[in-house]
Amino acid sequence: MKKKIKVSYNEFLKNWNKEEWEKIGRWETKNFTSSGFYLGAEQKYYDFFNIPLKPVRYCTVDYIVYDSKSDLDAIRKFFSDKIDAGEIEFIFKLIEKEYQVYNKLLKTYEVALKSSENLNEFTDKFERFIENLLFVTSTFEFERGLSDVLEEKLAKRLKELNYSNIYLAELLEEDKETDTSKLHSALKNLAKKILKNKLDMKSDKFKNTILNLKKKYSYLGTYLWIGKPYGEEDLIKIVDKAKSEIKNQTKKQKRPEFKDLFLNKLIRLTNLASRSKFRRVEVLNKTFSGLRPIILKYGKKGGLNSEEVEKFTLDEFINYLKSGLNNKNHIADYSLISYLTREKDVIFMSKEDGLKFRKEVLDKENKSDELKGNIAFHGTAKGYVKIIRSFKEFHKFEEGEVLVCNMTDPIYVPLMKKSSAIITDMGGVLSHAAIVSRELKKPCIIGTKIATKVLKDGDFVEVDANKGTIKILNKS
């Protein structure tokens, strides 16, 4: 486990200035889950996946995440060279290995669940679960570089073959493997039966089906400890929404077919990488969601409330369990909100210094008023902007508004369905926003970098996802 070292504002700034940083997004997660990412930034995990590079260093300040540009560029070059050398099989095998660690994590999760009544047994099983968890979280950073390379290679090959009218998102196949897809497919089938008068929403059969789906997939309403598991009412609302969508659906266009072997290999690889990313998030959400009541229970036994438990880092919580729930010596440092990973340790500063750093360093960046981005799914829309920065703001989003956020994740899906268009600061063709917007057929522009800073709630905008531009027609 990495050693954590608290430093002054000036020492943190000195380390920051040693690197060129690339903004990744805003992760408003708890120490308990976010610590899994910096703990996974270790050489042994990269060695396991046969990635002969140093782990990507990253910095988080008040939930805003940056990766070292030089580290990311090295990852990009590695995968680009593999593809150029015709070693695409390496990437296929890498994705296979990722699925292996996902499955191993699920197995250790089930074992931890079964041992939850005995502190000593649970401590041992939970520690093994965390060991496997870090293999999963380590894939986030090098997968980010792979996604960038696949997007670049696809765009280049399409241009070489004169397919200038093809959007990258159109090359993604319909997902049928992830739990997200299985749940929405099941709910859509219920909607079809209701419309054909083959099923009554008041019947016991419908209610039992909803209960079974809730039992299996409720965790999909959460994201790394935030959000709420889907309840029966949530699933019924999705069925109602699906009924409306079925009535108004247009004929589904077929995915383009190509004769070029290299392009087809890239497309297949991109789809596999896309599904792997989705599955990875699901596995993490499922395990954290399932273990959460047990973790909070052991926190309560040690005299800690839920907020105090959430401020533990994963390794600190293991120490807390090993101490016999003695929180005096092992309780987390509550200021671990701004940190920067290095090869063998992680430095962090106080919350006050983190907020000062954001104001004096980060908020001075990206002041341009020009709004352009990458097309995730084509189309145009006009509507009023609503900026959503976290789960806590979901309640203010209204039907037909333009969703503007840093990036989306699974808990944003209900908002994405209500939106007239989607705009994100971050993301590429394999990002959650790109994949889901294609399934929803919603105009979507990703990677604007500054949308959440330039746009304001109530701005009336035109989203042209055929050109990748956002025009403010009337300021709020």
Evaluate if residue 253 carries a pLDDT over 80: no
Evaluate if residue 117 carries a pLDDT over 70: yes
Query: Is residue 182 very low, low, confident or very high in pLDDT (cuts 50, 70, 90)?
Result: very high
Pairwise CA distance, residues 106 & 112, whole Å: 10
**pLDDT digit string, tens, across residues 385-406:** 999 988 888 989 999 999 999 8
Say what the pLDDT of residue 462 is: 93
Query: Is residue 364 very low, low, confident or very high in pLDDT (cuts 50, 70, 90)?
Result: low
Angle at 67 between CA 292 and CA 178, to 5 degrees: 45
Query: Is residue 1 very low, low, confident or very high in pLDDT (cuts 50, 70, 90)?
Result: confident
Report the Cα–Cα distance between both ends of the chain, in Å, rounded. Answer: 49
Pairwise CA distance, residues 64 & 10, whole Å: 19
Q: Where are the alpha helices (H) located in 173-251, listed in sequence order? A: 179-195, 204-217, 232-248
Say what the pLDDT of residue 285 is: 94
Looking at the domain that runs over 374-474, which CATH code has it been given? 3.50.30.10
Pairwise CA distance, residues 446 & 343, whole Å: 31
Cα–Cα nearest to 325, from 309, 345, 339, 310:
309
Say what the pLDDT of residue 56 is: 92
Evaluate if residue 97 carries a pLDDT over 80: yes
Query: Is residue 55 very low, low, confident or very high in pLDDT (cuts 50, 70, 90)?
Result: very high
Those residues with Cβ within 8 angstroms of residue 210's Cβ, 6 or more apart along the chain or in another chain = 232, 235, 236
CB 341 within 8 A of CB 1: no
Which tokens is 151 given?
């997007």
Say what the pLDDT of residue 164 is: 73
Say what the pLDDT of residue 174 is: 74
Say what the pLDDT of residue 334 is: 53
Those residues with Cβ within 8 angstroms of residue 428's Cβ, 6 or more apart along the chain or in another chain = 147, 148, 151, 374, 434, 446, 447
User: What percent helix, strand, coil does the chain show, rounded to 5?
Assistant: 55, 15, 30
Cα–Cα nearest to 448, from 344, 385, 345, 375:
375
Those residues with Cβ within 8 angstroms of residue 40's Cβ, 6 or more apart along the chain or in another chain = 133, 134, 135, 136, 137, 138, 140
Evaluate if residue 211 carries a pLDDT over 60: yes
Identify the H or E element spanning 265: helix 261-301
* pLDDT more than 90, % of the chain: 56
Mean pLDDT of 399-415: 90
**pLDDT digit string, tens, across residues 218-245:** 999 998 888 889 999 999 988 988 888 7
423 φ, ψ to 5°? -130, 130
Query: Is residue 250 very low, low, confident or very high in pLDDT (cuts 50, 70, 90)?
Result: low
Pairwise CA distance, residues 45 & 191, whole Å: 44
The crossing angle, in degrees rounded to 10, of helices 31-39 and 261-301 is 130
Half-sphere exposure of 226 (CA within 13 A, CB side): 16
Pairwise CA distance, residues 213 & 235, whole Å: 8
**252, 253, 255, 258: CA torsion to nearest 10:** 150
Pairwise CA distance, residues 73 & 56, whole Å: 10
Say what the pLDDT of residue 371 is: 86
**pLDDT digit string, tens, across residues 121-159:** 999 999 999 999 999 999 988 888 999 999 899 989 998
Which tokens is 152 given?
């670049």
CB 11 within 8 A of CB 353: no
Those residues with Cβ within 8 angstroms of residue 437's Cβ, 6 or more apart along the chain or in another chain = 169, 376, 377, 416, 422, 443, 444
Q: Which is more confident, 264 or 367?
A: 264
Say what the pLDDT of residue 427 is: 82
Q: Taking phi first (over 0 means left), then psi (-120 to 50 degrees means alpha), and beta for anything else, what does residue 86 get?
A: left
Evaluate if residue 335 carries a pLDDT over 90: no
Domain ranges of the chain: 3-159+261-362, 179-248, 374-474
Query: Is residue 331 very low, low, confident or very high in pLDDT (cuts 50, 70, 90)?
Result: low
CB 350 within 8 A of CB 12: no
* pLDDT more than 70, % of the chain: 95
